[in-house]
Amino acid sequence: MKTFLLKLMLFFSIFPLIIALGLFMPATPRVSKSLLFSKIHKDTLLKNTPTPRIIFIGGSNLSFGLNSKAIKDSLEINPINTGIHASIGLIYMMDNTLPYVQSGDIVVIAAEYEQFYGTFAYGGHELLRIIFDVAPSEWNRLRREQWINIIPEIPKYIFSKFKVTEYVNVKESDIYGVNSFNEYGDVYKHWNLEKEKFAPANAHKEQLNHAVVNELKKFRENLQKKGAFLFITYPGFQSTSFENQRKDIINVEEELKKNKFCLLGTPERYKMPDALMFNTAYHLSKEGVDYRTLLLIEDLNKAGVCKKSKVGQAGRP
């Protein structure tokens, strides 16, 4: 009986050991080559890019949707594209950017429409990877709602650490790799590739999350304290998907207007023809990138962004 109990205790002690190993093992070679590790470079840009600066916050609608060099050349302001992946969540994106903001900075949020519905803005599997693989020192930055979102992802994360395919014959993706970004933070490796077929996005099943808009208001207040300026624009979004979500998108626009955010353009203006998409409803081809960037430059000019950045530098926000 004693031997049986010892074997039973040994058997059950294996599971905590597996959990501990999975949580604290370093990132696998596959993950270390992924676009999530671009956060390190983008944080460096936030820290070291000189003023005047314009910081873009959002998911892959930005990383796959901006030509930052065109923005720099047109507005004579240094762009920082922080976009990586929508599932990191808008809340973390704002919390991660805020410590780096300087007086006079222009901050432009272009959030995917999903960020305003349900709990999407609190992050998912990609946020878990950021916290455990890319920046483990930042786990204490997460809020209760974010932990609630990512805890169910932990088993999948743990077991991935023990997959042979995570370690053997690992090749970096051309367009989803850590080196897919240019010096400003734009993904550019797909600019000369053929477009891919994909299914359009459907209407949201979740309710509009008013707490996300409240977080945007708090973020605006914190930027103002630092002498920075906040604008909100809309993602370049496939026309077919836009029509599927039209009612949801109008709800987002009305909520932003009601809370008196400084808006660049309208959702309709950034509705992109299907022919300009690359491989998702938010990822633009090179032609689409240039078109969306041109629209954004026009809207930034109308908003007097260069003038605002100079005022900020003078310490008079």
Question: Percent of the chain, pLDDT > 70?
Answer: 88
Distance of alpha carbon 249 from the chain centroid: 19
Where b means 16+ CB within 10 Å and e means fewer, 153-174 reads beeebbebbeeeeeeeeeeeee
Per-residue pLDDT tens for 231-276? 999 999 999 999 999 999 999 999 999 999 999 999 999 999 999 9
Name the more confident of 3 and 196: 196
Report yes or no: 81 and 295 within 8 Å, Cβ to Cβ. no
Supply 261's token pair.
């955010």
pTM for the structure as a whole: 0.91
pLDDT confidence of residue 311: 45
Report the mean per-residue pLDDT for the chain: 91
Per-residue pLDDT tens for 86-107? 999 999 999 999 999 999 999 9
Average pLDDT over residues 269-286: 98
**Which residues are CB-neighbours of 289 under 8 A, at least 6 positions away?**
64, 65, 66, 67, 186, 191
Domains of the chain: 55-313 (3.40.50)
